[in-house]
Amino acid sequence: MKTKFLALAAGLMAATALASAPAQADVKIGLVGGVSGPIAAMAPAMIDAAQLAVQQVNEQGGIGDGETLSGVVGDSACNPQNGTDAATKAVNIEGVVGLVGPHCSGAVLAAAGSVTIPAGVVLVTPSGTSPEITGLEDNDTVFRTVPSDDYQGRALARTLKEQGYEKVAVAYLNNDYGTGLANAFRTEFADQLGGEITQFAAHEEGKASYRSNLAELAKGGADTLVIFDYGDGTGLTILRQALENGFFEKFVGGDGMKSDAVINELGAENLATFVASSPVGEASESLDVFNAAFTGVGGDPDAIFANTSYDAAFMLALALEKNGGQKDGLGAALRSISTGEGEPIMPGEWSKAKELIAAGTAIDYKGAAGDHNFDENGDVPGTFALFEVGSDGFEVLTQMK
């Protein structure tokens, strides 16, 4: 009996010791994207690419002393209120130490202003392109792995002029994304290059018909309509109704219109005169490595913003490793892992990065979408291409400068 009692006591003591030992906690980052709403067809590949980075980190040792990196998915629905709500849940309920996303500019601006900047949480958006993001007073907490629309709008304008477009009408969604891209395009195309914009009009989201808008846009006599909107939403409706009613002969979209939904809904045979611009990764070994890895887990490496989403998550993980898994000082750590100097780290090279960081050796992340050496505003330069619709979907027509 005494022996049994002693054995029981020993077992209870061991159980108590185990219970009192600190559990190995996850290091959480938020993956906040437009899971629903106007870019719902684009969001899955972006989330999956970020999750690939999380998977690679965990397969090669995790954060710090074996802590698991966890990607907590939230839905910003591509609008400011949902972006704020999703960020609030991620920061205040889930306890994330950094955020990848939101995906859309309005959601980025709202989430940053209302949630992440006050909380001192670093936000890295892979697709929020509005020029307004540049001017945020963010205490070095807002970054992006995609270039501002100020670059894209101007590059698209220059490319269209080189392609022989002289007279266009412009329709843009009345939100931060559409307005920023349209204004950058107009400044370059009309003010700098002497192109003619016959009509320049904003439209609201979600109407059943835009035929009256299109009739007004067509009055200036342009044969080309430039659409700055989303191909999963209002932009698709406008393009469909323009084609059905013969308002224009040629169509140009920004990156939001480079959606498979456009091809799936309208048919490639009806899009012979449609082109769309988009940021693209620079040809590099890093891009090849990412493409192979993402293909290996069933992803489409050509999906828009897949490589920028991967880079945002992998860079945030590198910064967390450098910063001991803590949110304070994470912005400085993020800058330090991609400066153009140090030992090169390519996508997926987590164990190598861990060893170098532990040894105090400087590293320089070479991203799938390019070298992300952030400027003082957390912005990066980028490269773009103009795409046409071919037999296999979107195909590069020409590089944009």
For position 139, which CATH number holds? 3.40.50.2300
Query: What was the pLDDT predicted at 104?
Result: 96
Q: Residue 88: pLDDT band by 50, 70, 90 thresholds?
A: very high
pTM of the model: 0.88
Instruction: Supply the range of the domain harboring residue 301.
Output: 27-148+283-365
Query: What was the pLDDT predicted at 213?
Result: 98
Tokens of 178: 């559409």
Q: Residue 383: pLDDT band by 50, 70, 90 thresholds?
A: confident
Q: Do 188 and 275 fall into the same domain?
A: yes
Domain-embedded: residue 273? yes
Composition of the chain by helix, strand, coil, percent to 5: 45, 20, 35
Nearest to 384, CA basis, from 140, 225, 150, 114: 150
Query: What was the pLDDT predicted at 281?
Result: 75
Taking the C-alpha atoms of residue 342 and residue 345, their distance in angstroms, rounded to an integer, is: 9
Q: Do 68 and 178 fall into the same domain?
A: no
Q: Do 34 and 138 fall into the same domain?
A: yes
Query: What was the pLDDT predicted at 3?
Result: 38
Task: Tell me if 363 sits within 8 A of 318, measured CB to CB.
Answer: yes
pLDDT in tens, 191-240: 999 999 999 999 999 999 999 999 999 999 999 999 999 999 999 999 99
Q: Do 250 and 396 fall into the same domain?
A: yes
Q: Do 323 and 351 fall into the same domain?
A: yes
Domain-embedded: residue 12? no
Q: Distance between alpha carbon 110 and the CA centroid of its chain, in Å? A: 16
Q: Residue 4: pLDDT band by 50, 70, 90 thresholds?
A: very low
Q: How many domains does the chain have?
A: 2
Domain-embedded: residue 85? yes
pLDDT in tens, 5-40: 333 333 433 333 333 333 446 999 999 999 999 999
Q: Do 327 and 262 fall into the same domain?
A: no
In order, the DSSP letters of 248-314 are -SEEEE-GGG--HHHHHHH-GGG-TTEEEEEEEPPSSHHHHHHHHHHHHTT--TTSTTHHHHHHHHH
pLDDT in tens, 338-357: 999 999 999 999 999 999 99
Look at strands 383-390 and 393-400 and give their pairing.
antiparallel
Q: Do 299 and 192 fall into the same domain?
A: no
Q: Do 227 and 251 fall into the same domain?
A: yes
Q: Do 252 and 390 fall into the same domain?
A: yes
